[in-house]
Amino acid sequence: MILDGKCPTGPIQQSWDKHRQDLKLVNPANKRKFKVLVVGTGLAGGAAAATLGELGYNVEAFCYQDSPRRAHSIAAQGGINAAKNYPNDGDSIHRLFYDTIKGGDFRAREADVWRLAQVSNNIIDQCAAQGVPFAREYSGYLANRSFGGAQVSRTFYARGQTGQQLLLGAYSALARQINAGSVKMHTRREMIDLVVVDGVAKGITVRNLVTGEVESHWGDAVVLCTGGYVNVFYLSTNAMGCSVTAAWAAHKKGALMANPCYTQIHPTCIPQSGDHQSKLTLMSESLRNDGRIWVPKKKGDTRHPSEIPENERDYYLERKYPSYGNLAPRDIASRAAKESCDEGRGVGAGGYGVYLDYAAAIERLGESTIASRYGNLFDMYEKITAENAYKEPMRMYPAPHYSMGGLWVDYNCMSNVPGLFVLGEANFSVHGANRLGASALMQGLADGYFVIPYTIAGYLATITPGTVKDDHPEFKKAKEDAQNRTDKLLAINGKKTPTEFMRELGKVMWNNVGMARSEKSLKEALQIIPEMREEFWKNVKVVGSGNDFNQQLENAGRTADFLEFAELMTYDALHRDESCGGHFRTEHQTEDGEAKRNDEDFTYVAAWGSTGANSAPELHKEPLKFENVELAVRSYK
């Protein structure tokens, strides 16, 4: 099937304004009759729930954490982009649009990206009004800094905790609505199923993580803001609770999953220290503004970094990409690090690390300036590694970080299942095959504050509220399915823990479907994953009960879903017989090792439909049209 993204036609500059004019509205007196379920309370979900509550909808919000203030948006350090052009350095909506399209390696929808760039400016205004303490100049004006993949300074930040401050802004707006009674908050709930009645999304099934009870909730629309899936690699920078479970449930109920092979590997994370490792810690990309990345020129050089003279160091990013240097985009920087290590020039235990060196910056700017910019990051690094980055270079290695792929949505952020909207990282829409730094926060808030309030009205205005409630047989069935699955998991009583399975799956995904993929490695993964899944359902050991607070059961459920999703992700990577952005197929590279796209055959979104357990997914294509940018080789030299 050829999918229609329902993008507005006409000049792109007016596309969003025109579309907003064309969208239907819901009368203020009628809004409260519509119940909207918002799942996930990170930037996208928090902003959406708060804003829809402000508008007068009857909102119920859900999160698996104990508070809506804790979603993993909180961990974003570096900043948020906007096309304000405050520094007068040549930025514009068009330039942010172009940089995002190019950064995504020409695999995103033009109209969605234009809208993102356009509303980016409103986000900064909104957050400032909420009391987000952005960094300021002595003049009292907002400060900006530069970030990977851009030649202008358009990144706004709040020390090294921008994600935290933006999330607390959205959380406080949400708190205000909870207080006002327009949003009902359900914490410690995990969405485990989507309820679809006559092809339309009408509610969700959640597990109450405190009591174990399976609950049904009906709604006139469901808004999924449930984040990304890179925990499929087990070791990633995501929080431990991040999972594909909610998105996968929606997929199994008919929602298409788009471009799942597009995953981002972040170039600057703290290297793994041993097998006990439970997650990897990201160090903000902003570190690359002042740090210089290098490895020894000589293979297997075990000297202390201070003993390696300047002329025996290879500042490989500066060498290979002179105009962007250490600020080359994430996928390029990550692969370059991996190549250096694969050549045997990596540093630290195990040889999987590169240096990020501040000596030159400290000499030029002084230690106090560096401390004011990166102090908290240096502290964090020291806590984990017991090394002082003021005195010796940090060691870094790439780690899975973000998923550009996700549930397919049209221009209205609605999936192919009417009534099911998907926002933020959970959808596939704006980042193409690679996301630029400081753009995730931008997208989450754009979708939540400024897109969904308009587009959801366009949908709700066409339906009658409250026609399906939780006494409908579909809700009962979903509840029974959930209960059966829990019973099944608890009854297996095998030999391996859920974490052991997840670790094994993660290893396969990292080695075979990671930073560099080949037909061979992918086909191998497609052999292994179903076997692993089969073993899981025979040999997993889940302790505790189903009627209780049981973290092992949570773990087991998420692992079971990852074991299914991993196969689809691999399938997509195998089908996309080209390299683009974060999807690097070793068969398709230029002479100097850059990703080589195949625009003729692959300028489309691959949206996969579920055809049931253990059967091949069905491919739907949405062709991508580029009318405002020219498809070009993505060069950062």
Partner 1 sequence: MNLTLFVWRQSGPNEKGKLEEYEAKNVSPDMSFLEMLDEVNEALIKEGRDTIAFDHDCREGICGTCCQTINGQPHGPHDGTTVCQLHMRQFSDGDVIYIEPWRAKAFPIIKDLVVDRSALDRIIQAGGFTSASTGGVPDANAVLIPKPEADLAMDAAECIGCGACIASCPNASAMLFTGAKVSQLAHLPQGQVEAAARVCAMTEQALKDGFGNCTNHYECQAACPKGIDVKFIAKLNREYIKAQLKGA
d(CA 286, CA 153): 12
We find the least distance from the C-beta atom of residue 210 to partner 1, in angstroms, to be 6
Interacting positions 435-464 with partner 1 (CB under 8 A): 449-450, 453
Rounded to whole angstroms, what are the CA distances from 58 to 218, 219, 259? 12, 9, 33
| Residue 389 vs 606, nearer CB to partner 1 | 389
Interacting positions 572-601 with partner 1 (CB under 8 A): none
We find the least distance from the C-beta atom of residue 91 to partner 1, in angstroms, to be 14
281 belongs to the binding site for partner 1 (CB under 8 A): yes
d(CA 352, CA 288): 19
d(CA 163, CA 438): 9
3-class secondary-structure state, position 385: helix
We find the least distance from the C-beta atom of residue 475 to partner 1, in angstroms, to be 27
| Residue 63 vs 606, nearer CB to partner 1 | 63
The answer to whether 472 and 194 have CB atoms below 8 angstroms apart is: no
| Residue 306 vs 545, nearer CB to partner 1 | 545
- Closest alpha carbon to 455 in 9, 119, 21, 110: 21
Among 23, 135, 492, 629, binds partner 1 (CB under 8 A): 135
Interacting positions 488-507 with partner 1 (CB under 8 A): 497, 499-500
129 belongs to the binding site for partner 1 (CB under 8 A): yes
We find the least distance from the C-beta atom of residue 429 to partner 1, in angstroms, to be 20
Identity at 236, one-letter amino acid code: S
Q: Give me the 504-543 binding string for partner 1, x by CB under 8 A, dash otherwise.
A: -------------------------------------x-x
| DSSP class of 490 | H
Q: How many CA atoms lie within 13 A of 365 on its CB side?
A: 17
Among 239, 430, 528, 569, binds partner 1 (CB under 8 A): 239
Interacting positions 386-405 with partner 1 (CB under 8 A): 386
Identity at 332, one-letter amino acid code: I
Retrieve residue 136's tokens: 């300021």
Among 16, 134, 352, 562, binds partner 1 (CB under 8 A): 134
The answer to whether 254 and 196 have CB atoms below 8 angstroms apart is: yes
195 belongs to the binding site for partner 1 (CB under 8 A): no
Q: Give me the 196-225 binding string for partner 1, x by CB under 8 A, dash otherwise.
A: --------------x---------------
Interacting positions 52-111 with partner 1 (CB under 8 A): 54, 65-72, 74-75, 84, 86
128 belongs to the binding site for partner 1 (CB under 8 A): yes
Give the DSSP H or E segment for 100.
Answer: helix 93-103
Instruction: Provide the β-strand partners of residue 37.
Output: 60, 222
| Residue 85 vs 427, nearer CB to partner 1 | 85
Rounded to whole angstroms, what are the CA distances from 94 to 99, 329, 588? 9, 19, 30
Number of residues that bind partner 1 (CB under 8 A): 81
> For partner 1, which stretch binds (CB under 8 A), given 89-97, 196-204, 359-367, 379-387?
379-387
Interacting positions 152-171 with partner 1 (CB under 8 A): 158-159, 161, 164-165, 168, 171
| Residue 392 vs 500, nearer CB to partner 1 | 500
d(CA 271, CA 532): 27
547 belongs to the binding site for partner 1 (CB under 8 A): no
483 belongs to the binding site for partner 1 (CB under 8 A): no
Residue that the structure tokens 């209780």 belong to: 548
d(CA 474, CA 487): 20
- Closest alpha carbon to 136 in 211, 100, 186, 86: 86
